[in-house]
Structure 1
Amino acid sequence: MSADFWAGYISGAIGIIIGNPLDVLKVRLQASSSSQPTSPVPSISPSTPSPTSTLRPFLTGTAAPILGYGALNALLFISYNRSEAALNSLFPSGPNPSNPNTPTTGSNLYTTFLAGCLGGLATWVVSTPTELIKCRAQLSPSRTSSWSITRRVLHREGIKGLYFGGGVTAIRDSIGYGLYFWGYELSSRIMASTQWGKEDGPARVLLCGGIAGVLSWASIFPLDVTKTRVQTQTQVEGRGEGEALVGKKRMGAWAVARETYKEGGIRPFFRGLGVCSVRAFVVNAVQWAVYEWIMMQLGAGRQRGKGNESSREVTMG
């Protein structure tokens, strides 16, 4: 396996462990409506006050993301790095100062964004079923396990059922990850041009990773709200996980978006953004730090040089 596979897998799994409690709150806020509210705070039984029982509601739906997002993050970074290398060879960034007849092939922010979009699109095959299982587990009133939900969906709908809401998920991931890598590279360049950024590498990675996470999630949050509501229609309708909507056909993304807008205009599309932003900053700061550290340990890290240059020659395009 390549270095970016292991770095992506491990950093993705660690990010999920850290961010899942806030992700539970985010999903519950997204799925709630004014007519049928879903409590944003998981209920805790007073008869079981042990630390384990107190934390358990906030760990709901963790199993699927740890396995799924580890693989997703590995696929994301592999796809991104390969796509960026291919795009840089196809779209040179400018003339080579040492040899005007040979263009340079260093990265620029345009190819960084496009490579991020391609990388995000490649994760669709993993992210759609992982998101569906995770969100349904987090909204399940009986705290149904991820494995039980997977078995029910496969039994009733087959593999196709795991990819319900795949269209809006693919759009969300493509745009979101494009801005994610673009934001990380841009903020890294800006930070590297400052004296503080040059002297404090780990802090720079943490800050730039956090900024990239917030930028990415804020930009696609309405799509994420729509995706969550599409994939969890059974819970929102008050039925158990996986139960069919009797007399009603499950709505697609466009129909769900229209219904959400009727509920309260643009505001429901940003419900839970505050919680999500806090989670995005913390998770992605740690995730990027772990990724960069593992890549360095495996001899594949990006060595930042003087000024704002790096081994990948990221330019402003």
Structure 2
Amino acid sequence: MSGGGEHLKDEGTRRQVVLAGGIAGLVSRFCIAPLDVVKIRLQLQIHSLSDPSSIHGLKGPVYKGTLPTMRAIIREEGLTGLWKGNIPAELLYVCYGGIQFTTYRTTTQALSQLHPHRLPPSVESFISGAFAGGVATAATYPLDLLRTRFAAQGRERVYTSLWSSVRDIARYEGPLGFFRGCSAAVGQIVPYMGLFFATYETLRPRMASFNDYLPFGSGDAAAGVIASVLAKTGVFPLDLVRKRLQVQGPTRAKYVHSNIPEYRGVFKTIQLILRTQGVRGLYRGLTVSLFKAAPASAVTMWTYEHALKILREMDIASEK
């Protein structure tokens, strides 16, 4: 997503955008996988740390903060526990990245043809980002659900392999089992990606003047960090609801947090969380989510810009 205005609309062929988006997703996922697992564990933890009575008799670990949670996972499940769900997650990020950036590029090009009623650049970025996020989320949602379920497994394995998880969900929960919480995911990603891209495209040209003072000499990463933090905070409750809904079904009591209540629907889940855990209950794991979102977005946008540049240079060289 380099630059703004007309330059953005003409940058990169469809093949280059797909490859660059896929590479960006792959690299980003590998770097932030441990934080993703920690975030999911904290989001699924329902008891109140300030209420000792809620912990009494609880089966399973009690996580308190990002680093203690990471240490607890390593101690109880080994270092590889921090990469649980990494296979479906890698597939998710590669497919998501390719679909997202391709849809974003196509949508921005379509919007640029609305002369003489062209929308403001920030509005174009919001619409393109929201639409791209919604399409990519819906298309890759089963992989997102599998990622969550594997990350939620403790020492007791609910699924022995990726294939067994697909087989069991299809057999016991039906096709709709792969889309538990999808409405919350789309409801979250549309405003998130809209806000993210609108902020990113606004900040990136301004951050370019600070290239000499930024890591790697790139304003792309800094703009990605700021945009991600602002957007993520605004829609975090829906992300938490999505995770709670994703582990519903016949295996609900088998995950590392065995006391996850039965939730039905986005709004009923929000109401139940507010009634039993208060407003803070909707923001469990926000801190690690922001820690994760910032470097993930920075790595994603930096990798995308540079991968796209390399691919374009390779194509130009091959044509000579």
Separation in structure 1 between the aligned mates of residue 78 and residue 138 of structure 2, nearest angstrom: 34
Residue among 203, 206, 229 paired with 1:214: 229
Name the residue aligned to 1:83: 107
Structure 1 residue 118 corresponds to structure 2 residue 150: no
TM-score (norm 1): 0.79
Residue among 190, 193, 199 paired with 1:177: 193
Separation in structure 2 between the aligned mates of residue 262 and residue 273 of structure 1, nearest angstrom: 19
* Number of residue pairs the alignment of both structures matches: 278
Residue among 36, 40, 61 paired with 1:23: 36
Structure 1 residue 166 corresponds to structure 2 residue 182: yes
Separation in structure 1 between the aligned mates of residue 233 and residue 255 of structure 2, nearest angstrom: 31
Secondary structure of the corresponding residue to residue 89 of structure 1: coil
Q: Which amino acid aligns with 1:212?
A: A
Separation in structure 2 between the aligned mates of residue 249 and residue 237 of structure 1, nearest angstrom: 8
**Taking every aligned residue pair, what percent have the same amino acid on both sides?**
26
Q: Which amino acid aligns with 1:22?
A: L
TM-score (norm 2): 0.78
1:63 and 1:219, CA in 2 relative to 1: closer, same or farther beyond 3 A? same
Separation in structure 1 between the aligned mates of residue 109 and residue 127 of structure 2, nearest angstrom: 11
CA apart distance, 1:212: 2.1
CA apart distance, 1:228: 0.7
Counterparts of 1:257-276 in structure 2, within 5 Å, are 257-276=270-289
Separation in structure 1 between the aligned mates of residue 249 and residue 62 of structure 2, nearest angstrom: 16
Separation in structure 2 between the aligned mates of residue 107 and residue 113 of structure 1, nearest angstrom: 10
Separation in structure 2 between the aligned mates of residue 277 and residue 236 of structure 1, nearest angstrom: 29
More helix, by proportion: 2
Structure 1 residue 6 corresponds to structure 2 residue 19: yes
CA apart distance, 1:44: 4.2
Structure 1, 262-271 or 9-18: larger mean CA deviation: 262-271
CA RMSD of aligned residues (A): 2.9
CA apart distance, 1:160: 1.9
* Matched-pair contact (CA < 8 Å) for 1:128–1:165: no
Name the residue aligned to 1:138: 151
Q: Which amino acid aligns with 1:221?
A: F
Output one character per residue of 1:109-153: Cα deviation in whole Å (capped at 9) or x when no partner. Answer: 111001111111111333421221111111112244443322211
CA apart distance, 1:213: 2.0
Name the residue aligned to 1:49: none
* Matched-pair contact (CA < 8 Å) for 2:142–2:179: yes
Name the residue aligned to 1:97: none
* Matched-pair contact (CA < 8 Å) for 2:181–2:241: no
Q: What stretches of structure 2 of length at least 5 have no aligned partner?
A: 1-13, 48-53, 64-68, 314-320
Name the residue aligned to 2:97: 73
Counterparts of 1:1-317 in structure 2, within 5 Å, are 2-34=15-47, 35=54, 39-40=62-63, 41=69, 42-44=72-74, 54-90=78-114, 108-141=121-154, 142-143=156-157, 144=159, 145-192=161-208, 194=209, 196-197=210-211, 202-234=217-249, 238-239=253-254, 251-299=264-312
* Matched-pair contact (CA < 8 Å) for 2:152–2:255: no
Q: What stretches of structure 1 of length at least 5 have no aligned partner?
A: 47-52, 94-104, 301-317
